[in-house]
Amino acid sequence: MCSHVQFVCLLVAGLVGAINGQVFAWGGCPDVTVVKDFNVMPYLGTWYEAARFPTSFEKDARCVTANYTLKDNGHIEVDNSGYFPGEGYNTDIGDAKPNKDPSLAKLGVKFSWWQPRGDYWVLATDYEQYALIHSCTGFFNWFNIQFNWILVRDVTKSVGDISVIDKWVNEFGKQGIDTDKFDYYGHVNCPPRDTTV
């Protein structure tokens, strides 16, 4: 079937296999806009995950928090923590590098020294209630892998009125993102943080 483009077919098949558990879409990444005049200082601190696209690295995770702290070099320490049934809480520490223009809400994040930085784009935030995060990697404009998150400051918002969260989900839709991919993850019956299994 692949004939003269067999190598390309094998490459695509390998990539599709590698992204199992992620949100895959044909075509290039959506053309989104991010927060302008972004101010990192009020963005720092603790956020709670209210909704997300499926990801392999967060599979089955709940009670997920993200804590952002400014480092001496101007980067941001990313402290992600979530509860995995049968394992307890797992924490990953990453590094977020601001855009060359820090007023543009496009950061690059990585969690290992060998890992290339992935997009961490803030599509919208009021700093006090919610933040809408988008990440997308395109492959030759043939297909893309997307990650999207809704973060909230007040943990009760992640389990409260779904219409509030749906309002934020709709903001993704206005930017051409498939909102049907969102799963809701409230912070309900979260085990104590020192829980181990």
In-domain check, residue 73:
yes
* pLDDT tens profile 62-94: 999 999 999 999 999 999 999 999 899 999 999
12 domain residue, yes or no:
no
Tell me whether residue 9 is in a domain.
Answer: no
Category of 57 on φ-ψ map: left (φ > 0), alpha (ψ -120 to 50) or beta: alpha
Tell me the pLDDT tens digit for each residue of 95-141: 999 999 989 999 999 999 888 999 999 999 999 999 999 999 988 88
Q: Is residue 2 part of a domain?
A: no
For the chain, first and last CA: distance in Å?
49
CATH of the domain at 147: 2.40.128.20
- Evaluated on CA atoms 21, 78, 134, 99, the torsion sign reads negative
Q: Tally the residues of the chain.
A: 197
Which residues partner with 138 through β-bridges? 144
Instruction: Please give the C-alpha separations between residue 187 and each of 12, 73, 114, 117, in angstroms, as whole numbers.
Output: 37, 33, 32, 28
The total domain count for the chain is 1
Q: What is residue 142's predicted lDDT score, i.e. its pLDDT?
A: 87
* pLDDT computed for residue 157 by the predictor: 63
Look at residue 115 and tell me if it is in a domain: yes
Q: Could you give the CA distance from residue 62 to residue 120 in angstroms, rounded to a whole number?
A: 21
Higher per-residue pLDDT: 1 or 26? 26
Three-class SS of residue 75? coil
Q: 24-28, 47-51, 79-83, 135-139: which has the minimum mean pLDDT?
A: 24-28
Contact 44, 75 (CB under 8 A): no
- C-beta separation of 75 from 54 below 8 A: no
User: Which residues form the domain of 162?
Assistant: 22-184
Q: What is the mean pLDDT of residues 153-174?
A: 82
User: Average pLDDT for residues 19-28, to the nearest whole number?
Assistant: 69
Of residues 84, 189, 193, 170, the one with CA closest to residue 123: 170
Q: Is residue 42 part of a domain?
A: yes
Do the domain assignments include residue 178? yes
Q: In this structure, is residue 66 part of a structural domain? A: yes
Contact 62, 83 (CB under 8 A): yes
Phi/psi at 162 (nearest 5 deg)?
Answer: -60, -25
